[in-house]
Structure 1
Amino acid sequence: MNSNLASITDPSVEAALSTLETGLTQAMKVRTDPLSNLDRLRVLQRIESVVRALPALGLELIAQIERQWSNNDFATRNVTDTLADGLRISPSEARGRWRAASELAHRTTIDGGTLDPALPATAAAQRDGAIGAAHVKVLRQFFYQLPTCIDTTTRASAETELAAHARVLRPDQLKKVAERLEAIINPDGTFDDTDRARRRSFTLGRQGPDLMSKCLLVADPELRSYLEAVFAKLAKPGMGNPEGSSAAQLEGEPDPAAVERDDRSSGQRQHDALKTVARAILSSGNLGQHRGLPVSVVVTTSLQDLENAVGHTDPAHGPSEVFVSGPPVVTGGGSLLPMHDLIRMAAHAYHYLAVFDDSDGRPLYLGRTKRIATAGQRIILHARDIGCTHPGCSKPGYLCQTHHREEWAHGGGTDADQLTFACEPHHRLVGSSDMQWATVPAPVGHPTPGRTQWIPPQAVDSKQVPRINHYHHPSEYLAPQPHPPDRESG
């Protein structure tokens, strides 16, 4: 077990956890090779029961933290970030546990009374170690999909019955039972506007090793009708083919030769149509401004990266077509963009490109097609900070405010080297009181000079060790450090 974990002030809780940890340590030392296979399976069943039950205790703790939340307890701005940093889990997993706690942990009334969990039978089965995370996922998804017209009594009866089945069935078997029960409860498939509004969503997945992103869209009827109209025009064979001469064609009909050359699948044509629509609306200028910049694509690269980009011809596309390769560049949304796409997008001249010297971080080129001087300062921050500079924060630059590292009221300047990115919740943490954070630039001689250091209040860190956010600069985790690195999170 991890011997560095802090002790609990309550003696009874500390004793219970110590007993649990001691038992686990003893179990880890047990030799199981003399056992029969039947006994090995029984051991696995006992272990599985413990593993399934422990999350129930964790969900109760999460619900209690939520109910008694105070911004003075942690350096983080909400329960999700506190769980992610404190347990060293991803923000998405932290959000999942927080949502599960809202349904599977006990609740408190306004006058301090205790209520059963929203899914009481499911919560009881989890506490008993009878069901695991996969069972819980099936049960929660079942109730998420039920229409709002189903009355409370029917919901309660369904939850009791499904939880009982979950105690004896595998998750895949339970899913079949849930699907059949849903068909019985809602035989006509009745859903209203409230149900559709609740289920609408768009999830932009993470980029894979090839920089491609998988997206999940649940479209309401109105959005579907818009997409059908767009695809009818722009996803026709020969229209908007990036590999043909009709790439820019938006009017009229593609000529028969272009249709003949178009070997894209239907899905590929629809993908390219969406890209055409997004590029057209960004180029139109009709989206206004976002945090001081006209809505556009902001890209960061360095002079060395541009100079080192390798151009070559592809025999498959003829000797006249040149392709550029090099390290991917970073956008204001935190995603990676291939170098050849950057060069091609620059031809549209509707995006921002900041070029910096690798050696000293000095801005060498600031290219833009829009107006206002303060926009240039934000572009420099996109290039230097990429995203929020608060330790451990993952918010990209598009979602950040511009912060004076030395407060304007205290004489701080508005020069680019005196500004930094901070998302709105973390921006509110900065101030001059004993309970607030301070921000200063990293000095000359520091491994990352000029970057923003966040100094926590004594309530968070009695030594007030400066911290730098390395999240948006992952290569810094791999770089050799001449001295112990700044702490990243509390």
Structure 2
Amino acid sequence: MTRTAAVMPAERVVGGYRDALASVTALSDVSTVVCSDAELVEVTRLTEELSRRVEALTVARYADNLQRRPGPMITSVGSVHGFYEQALNVGRGETNRRREHAGKLAAGQTPSGETIAPTLPDTAEALRAGQISRTHVDVIIKTMRKIPTSVSPDVVASAEASMAEFATQLTPRELENVGARLLAYLDPDGQVTDEQDRVRQRDLYLSSQDQQLMSTLTGHLTPAGRAVVELAMELFAAKGMNNPDDPDSPRGAVNAPGVDPHVLAEAAKRDRRTAGQRRHDALIAICAHASASTDGTLNGLPAHIVVTASKKDMEDGRGFATTATGSTVPVTDVIDLVMRDPGTGEMVVVVFDDDTSDVIFYGTGRRSANTAQRFASFGRDRGCTKPKCRESMFGSQAHHVRRWENGGRTTIGNLGAACGHDNRREGPLDDQWKTVIIPDGPDKGRVGWIDPADPDRIPRVNNTFFPEIILRRTWNKHHRGPTTPSPPQRE
């Protein structure tokens, strides 16, 4: 049964939200020290229920925005998803979660105005009632996604209702176990699951870097995908192959022409890596081999490893460089790769002055002027220059700050990186963004974007790819005095 939302005047809707915000704000300043133990327990329970009900409101409002696509929101950033991520600073992962939850828990509407029930109606009602958390919702969605497509709709509906009821009584971890039992009940011997189900569940994710700059790789492989990966690992992860700690270790596939069996046997004797470490090194070798084997380009850039670093860090042999995809690499690794050139494909190193954005060194084996300009300007920007955009250098295009039709020249000083989406949003019309080169101040020389909705017409830069700038400015702001210490450095 689909719940019918109450209709009231717009001013009451906005006023109701403001009143709720004021109430929560007031509660945040209230101490519970006067409460008895029983009252503190009750306050804790109410706080959790309030949080869950607000989560349901969050899902509903995201769905409203997807349905309506409000003009000011679209004009500002181009999409509902972008508004949450960039204007509200929600973050990409959380925005993706809200979009998924809205698609499963919110009622839809046909072009004729008829209401469509939520995909997971019982789950939606349990969240709205404050009986389950969003983590419960994640578990239910994950479980329902694994139900074979051949299972009848009635059985699927019963499974969803059962999971929603279980969620009101169990922790998310316990609910995962129940979900696994439910799937086993629906498909006890795996005969119901078909190729379509397996293909639907395939995925591969690379996490953000942690504080040690390490990343986690997770995913689900189809049987065919697993077979290919296993073969590749047999070829590239053999003992003695592709060992970064052994300069005499053979590179590439174990069956490649030129691999000396005697050299490989000796390298295998010296190999002290675990099986997991060999697979890690094999994956790097496979990706490097694939990158080096292509003559194609990506948004006008050859498929090379591109890193940018400051002059001081390169001279000192410490600090961190940034790759074209926005990842962080220790400068020592960059120097090591340049010196050893272990067959990882051509590397481009762009070095900048420590106090400006001026390119003072550009090193690569191929030096066509057009390519050099792209590498230098994109390396300087590290990615799309529009504020809050997270598209990397390889997902961006060369953008003329002064438009080509207005006499803008194709020079480094007039080029900036912009993803295709934002490149199309910049233009001469009143509802389009404008770009300029910042003439002075701490952002001198960088590309500034002017929001058409900004009455002050202030150019703003994108510091998404420059965490060191944010750190330095914030650190200096809070450490004023005759001797301002430098921000902390990671060794």
Say if 1:229 and 1:440 are closer, same or farther in 2 by CA, change over 3 A: same
The aligned amino acid for 2:329 is: L
* Offset at residue 434 of structure 1 (A): 0.7
Q: 2:3 matched to which residue of 1?
A: none
The aligned amino acid for 2:113 is: G
Say if 1:211 and 1:174 are closer, same or farther in 2 by CA, change over 3 A: closer
Alignment pair present for 1:14 and 2:17: no
Conservation of the 8 A alpha-carbon contact between 1:72 and 1:435 = no
Conservation of the 8 A alpha-carbon contact between 1:238 and 1:246 = no
Q: 1:425 matched to which residue of 2?
A: 421
Alignment pair present for 1:80 and 2:78: no
SS at match of 1:207: coil
Candidates 240, 243, 247, aligned match of 2:242: 240
The aligned amino acid for 2:276 is: G
Say if 1:211 and 1:23 are closer, same or farther in 2 by CA, change over 3 A: closer
1:272-421 aligned within 5 A: 272-284=281-293, 286-309=294-317, 326-347=318-339, 348=341, 350-370=346-366, 372-421=368-417
Say if 1:34 and 1:156 are closer, same or farther in 2 by CA, change over 3 A: same
SS at match of 2:77: coil
Conservation of the 8 A alpha-carbon contact between 1:281 and 1:287 = no
Q: 1:23 matched to which residue of 2?
A: 23
Conservation of the 8 A alpha-carbon contact between 1:441 and 1:452 = yes
Q: 1:474 matched to which residue of 2?
A: 467
* Offset at residue 12 of structure 1 (A): 0.7
* Offset at residue 274 of structure 1 (A): 1.3
* Offset at residue 61 of structure 1 (A): 1.1
Conservation of the 8 A alpha-carbon contact between 2:59 and 2:102 = yes
Candidates 426, 445, 448, aligned match of 1:450: 445
Q: Would you say how many aligned residue pairs link Structure 1 and Structure 2?
A: 456
Conservation of the 8 A alpha-carbon contact between 1:205 and 1:214 = yes
* Offset at residue 304 of structure 1 (A): 2.7
Identity %: 31
Q: Distance in 2 between matches of 1:179 and 1:359?
A: 56
TM, length-normalised to structure 1: 0.88
Q: 1:313 matched to which residue of 2?
A: none
Q: Distance in 1 between matches of 2:287 and 2:25?
A: 56
Q: Distance in 2 between matches of 1:136 and 1:418?
A: 48
Q: Distance in 1 between matches of 2:353 and 2:177?
A: 59
The aligned amino acid for 2:331 is: M
| CA deviation string 1:410-445 (max 9, x = no partner) | 1111111101000111111101011111101000x3
Q: Distance in 2 between matches of 1:25 and 1:356?
A: 46
Alignment pair present for 1:156 and 2:157: yes
Conservation of the 8 A alpha-carbon contact between 1:296 and 1:352 = yes
* Offset at residue 358 of structure 1 (A): 2.6
1:158-237 aligned within 5 A: 158-189=159-190, 190-237=192-239
Q: Distance in 2 between matches of 1:223 and 1:179?
A: 24
Q: Distance in 2 between matches of 1:283 and 1:54?
A: 50
Conservation of the 8 A alpha-carbon contact between 1:412 and 1:418 = yes
The aligned amino acid for 1:185 is: L
SS at match of 2:346: coil
Say if 1:18 and 1:437 are closer, same or farther in 2 by CA, change over 3 A: closer
The aligned amino acid for 1:33 is: V
My pick for the range that moved more, 122-131 or 354-363, is 354-363
Q: Distance in 2 between matches of 1:25 and 1:359?
A: 43
* Offset at residue 239 of structure 1 (A): 1.9
Q: Distance in 1 between matches of 2:194 and 2:367?
A: 46
Conservation of the 8 A alpha-carbon contact between 1:300 and 1:382 = no
Q: 1:315 matched to which residue of 2?
A: none
Q: Distance in 2 between matches of 1:97 and 1:334?
A: 25
Q: Which runs of 5+ in 1 are unaligned?
A: 1-7, 310-325, 485-490
Say if 1:423 and 1:29 are closer, same or farther in 2 by CA, change over 3 A: closer
Q: 2:69 matched to which residue of 1?
A: 69
Q: Which runs of 5+ in 2 are unaligned?
A: 1-7, 253-258, 478-491
TM, length-normalised to structure 2: 0.87
Q: Distance in 2 between matches of 1:362 and 1:27?
A: 51
Conservation of the 8 A alpha-carbon contact between 1:292 and 1:374 = no
Say if 1:27 and 1:276 are closer, same or farther in 2 by CA, change over 3 A: closer
SS at match of 1:238: coil
Q: 1:144 matched to which residue of 2?
A: 145
Conservation of the 8 A alpha-carbon contact between 2:136 and 2:167 = yes
Q: Distance in 2 between matches of 1:156 and 1:287?
A: 51
| CA deviation string 1:58-107 (max 9, x = no partner) | 21111111111156534112222211234322111011111100111111
Q: Distance in 1 between matches of 2:442 and 2:130?
A: 49
SS at match of 1:125: helix
* Offset at residue 256 of structure 1 (A): 3.9
| CA deviation string 1:177-201 (max 9, x = no partner) | 2221111111222322222222211
Q: 1:5 matched to which residue of 2?
A: none
After superposition, the CA RMSD in angstroms is 2.3
Say if 1:50 and 1:262 are closer, same or farther in 2 by CA, change over 3 A: same
Q: Distance in 2 between matches of 1:239 and 1:22?
A: 64
Q: Distance in 2 between matches of 1:256 and 1:86?
A: 58
